[in-house]
Amino acid sequence: MHPRRVVVTGAGVVSPVGCSKETAWAAVRDGRSGIRTITAFDTSGFDVHIAGEVRDFDPLDHLSKREMSRLDRFVQFAVVAADQAITESGLDLEAEDRRRIGAFIGTGIGGLHEIEAQHARLLQSGPHRTSPLMIPKLMTNAAAGQVTMRKGLMGPSMSVSSACASASHAIGEALKCIRYGTADVMVCGGAEAAVTPMGLSGVQQSKALSTRNDDPPAASRPFDLNRDGFVMAEGAAILIIECLEHARQRGAEILVELAGYGASSDAYHVTLPDPEGRGAALAMAHALEDAGLGPQDVDYINAHGTSTPAGDDVEAKAICAVFGDHAHKLAVSSSKSVFGHLLGASGALESAVCVWAMLDDVCPPTINLDDPDPECCGLNFVPHQAQQRRLNAVLCNSFGFGGHNVSLALRKFAG
């Protein structure tokens, strides 16, 4: 069977910089940080006091009280982002064969809010006082399960959990489902809500987080010489992807083409990247090959760019290894400088950013890049302000703890 072409027809977001396409894209494009002092809990005993929290989200605007009580925060984010994406796509589910529509939604951690709440109840009141809904709320597949149940989708459905590559793996595997005929439409992306006392404590203790508490908007500074770690964030992003024939048949507005998917493993260390960047380079090379693109065809890369001392220079070296002389002609930026690191959901939000960037022919900026690290190869990291340029093809990189690497290739749709 000849692989079918796959296109993006909708995107939905719940993020630290807005809970709609318009507000989130405007913030990313204009370089307005969503990182602030944490308000959800008391951080006085922590070394880290900052995060990218979702602040303008009230679940009761979207869900009944009963529904809200049955869904962990990460699932609430996912179902709202999925509703947005389906609305933008124009899918009329009543007219569709829902056996041909599925959902792959990744998360790195799952229902951490529920885990903490029920653990406290167990310690305080004993094993007979924990909630019978605990497991259905905290399990990592809850987001995909709830989206399919709410929408009556009977196609393939699963959760992907590969740390910070989770959402990108979910999108890539959904792409394969459509290409080879398992589904015609997929609801795919990621959701995460790990800005909790346990989540912050755990990542803080790994020494991976920025402690620039006195200036939260300046804390996430990918590729900067003075970067000191990433900033945790929460949220969700969902894409609607479908085979080209199906999109054309129903008269959908096609946003971009999802053209390629590359994945690899570092096989090196549980948290640190391979210092030579071989796994990252392999994922990018696979994505280019899968999309039928040459290095010279790529105009922009939305980098993983977490702002960690050990990660950014490795990614830059990997880009140079794959793209050679062209690496200095394309643009590279990290949207995590604006909204922080959504862990397992980051690749989905950054894929949405790539879609919006291609529609507007704008490379969003890397903010806080005041003193570029010379170890990062002198690439054009789009410092401070967006750059206007024709974007025919872009890559979106996601690299996760455990050595999981994913690169997605998108290109302008040409009929």
Owner of token pair 């999108």: 171
Catalytic: 119? no
Annotated catalytic residue within 113, 169, 246, 341: 341
What SS3 class is residue 302?
strand
Please state, in angstroms and rounded to a whole number, the distance separating the CA atoms of residues 397 and 300.
11
User: DSSP of 65-115, one letter per residue?
Assistant: HHHHHTS-HHHHHHHHHHHHHHHHHT--GGGS-GGGEEEEEE-SS--HHHH
Instruction: Please give the Cα distance from 1 to 411 (Å, whole number).
Output: 23
| Alpha carbons 255 and 230: distance in angstroms, whole number | 31
Among 164, 177, 377, 396, which one carries the catalytic annotation? Answer: 164
Contacts of 67 (CB under 8 A, 6+ apart): none
| 341 has catalytic annotation | yes
By the 8 A CB rule, do 11 and 358 touch?
A: no
Q: Which of 269, 303, 300, 297 is nearest to 283 (CA)?
A: 303
377 is catalytic: no
State the helix-helix crossing angle for 346-360 and 21-30, rounded to 10 degrees.
Answer: 80
Planar angle of CA 65, 67, 71, nearest 5 degrees: 115
Burial of 96 (0-12, 13-18, 19+ CB in 10 A): middle
Q: Which of 113, 286, 304, 404 is catalytic?
A: 304
Q: Which residues are catalytic?
A: 164, 304, 341
